[in-house]
Chain A
């Protein structure tokens, strides 16, 4: 079991404070949902965990299995087992999905002292693509270039299945998805669900949580987690909306 621990995290972007003291502990085997109104720091938290250079951490600590995550550069965090599914996956012209995926897999296997077996890798990638209802021709397309919103999100999940991280952060993966794509994406997340996998599902809506049931639910408001609980919180939000949060926890 691994633990991702955030304590007293404060952060800003271009001098503007966004996170004002986040405390959160996640263990592998657990699915956490992070909900909250837009503009209160949900995506910021995901990007700070991954190490986006645009954000500045001004206080607090983050540890992954006791290791200081903030001291690691971005690729080191990835190799340590952290994965971020982007809200808006980036297009990389001229780099094929196959070339990218193979190299990413190779980098992660090297961490475990393994060498890539190309035949096995291709077979696995094809199986994963079938599982995610993706055309196998995607392997020859340039990464995310000209992909629809749903195809980009499936591509993120394909990477998730390939890299098998210890902790995955899903940054509004559900936004802009139709119900079929949402089901496929959820199926991908659920496939990894188990003792070696933990996830933080960041979302504004409860919809994805109907398919990926969270063990813990947190509400991030004005830069901090104001309340945590179980599925009942999701239902409370569904019924009362975020105004309820504002009334109860707003400053």
Chain B
């Protein structure tokens, strides 16, 4: 990563315009050409320094449901349950965490009913309780990572 990569990462975490030639407008702000900006973003994606470039959709405002849930699993059964949970298409992220509540996953579903059905299926297929941790209120989402 050089100075230009850092400037692009720090300067482009939001506010990308919706217009005919958006890359050209942004490139001018960095003092580079449109082609250079596109090539740099492509390279940052290839090197996995960026995980995405584009619109971030707000699942709930699209009518979908995005929700956190947790499980408390004995270590010896953790792998089996992880396989069952990960195999479900509704599971977007799943993390192991160092706590008695040791599995935390995010479900992305298109309706609240599909969310409830998925949780029930996990309980039935694994034999363990799922603790539904929906957000009651969202105070903040977003972070500017400095490169």
Q: Do A and B bind each other?
A: no
